[in-house]
Structure 1
Amino acid sequence: MSIDPGSYTPLYRQLADLLRGRIEAGEFAPGENLPSEAQLAQAYEVGRDTVRDALAALRSEGVIITVKGSGSQVRLWHEPTVVRVDGRARIAARMPSIEEKRQFRLKDGTPVLVVHREGLDEEIHPADRIQLEVGD
């Protein structure tokens, strides 16, 4: 599949779809660096802004991370830990505070899950590592 400049789908979205497909096909392993922005721009015959927008889309989806000085790499995936939530509870997702990002060592764009139960302190869990199991 290649980039179609005549398509109604924006170029950055086409590139993001192509890169996601390559990642899902195993061409880029978890933790492996993607080609540089310049290499991607040349390989797909698009501008650097298009590449940046495509990488930003993949980052917001949690497919890749970008590390300053190292470039973009496929996000490592971990089997989630199951946390059981018994009784009545409200569960909400939100973006973490700076302190929570530090505490859980969260990458940009990773939300937290907040469990509220009456009479108890709220529980905060990193959404990329936890699955909540709600009981009766």
Structure 2
Amino acid sequence: MTIDPYSDIPAYKQLAGGVRALIESGDLAPGQRIPSESDLVQRHGVARETARRAIALLRAEGLIQTIQGQGSFVTDPQEAVTVRCRKGTEIAARMPSPDERRALGIPEGVPIFIVRYPEGQESKLRADSNVILFTEE
């Protein structure tokens, strides 16, 4: 992958696109460590901030998760689950708190759905692996 300094696409987005392509092709598999910031800087001749922003973008997309002191790893894609909701159900989306992220096992950058059922029950669901389906019942 070559970073084009004259492109209209910012360098960090080009770099993230290259790593994303490796993930999507399977060259970087779930659980596998992606190149570190230092590796990306050396391999592609970019500034450290460019590498940092590329990694942050991939993390925000839910493609990788970063573990302090260990590096960034490709996340395992979640199988989508369909959640059926009936009339009167309210749904909101937001980013989870750090405690919610840990409790739900959600990588940084993945939003959650807050589902409030007519009976007063509430559920918190990963937005990257749940499909909301409204039924007539």
Q: TM-score, normalised by structure 1?
A: 0.88
- Residues 18-43 of structure 1 show CA distances to partners (whole Å, capped at 9, x for unaligned) of 11112111110111101121111111
Deviation, 1:129, is: 3.2
- Partner in structure 2 of residue 100 of structure 1: 100
Structure 1 residues 103 and 36: CA distance shift in structure 2, 3 A: closer
Tell me which amino acid in the other structure corresponds to 2:79. E
Q: How many aligned residue pairs are there?
A: 136
- Consecutive unaligned residues of structure 2, counting only runs of 5 or more, are none
Q: Which moved more, 1:104-113 or 1:21-30?
A: 104-113
- Partner in structure 1 of residue 63 of structure 2: 63
Q: What is the alpha-carbon distance in structure 1 between the residues aligned to residue 52 and residue 99 of structure 2?
A: 28
Q: Which runs of 4+ in 1 moved over 3 A?
A: none
Alignment of 1:47-126 (within 5 A): 47-126=47-126
Tell me which amino acid in the other structure corresponds to 1:133. L
Deviation, 1:124, is: 1.9
Deviation, 1:3, is: 0.6
The answer to whether the Cα contact below 8 Å between 2:15 and 2:51 also exists between their aligned partners in 1 is: yes
Q: What is the alpha-carbon distance in structure 1 between the residues aligned to residue 12 and residue 23 of structure 2?
A: 16
Q: TM-score, normalised by structure 2?
A: 0.88
- Consecutive unaligned residues of structure 1, counting only runs of 5 or more, are none
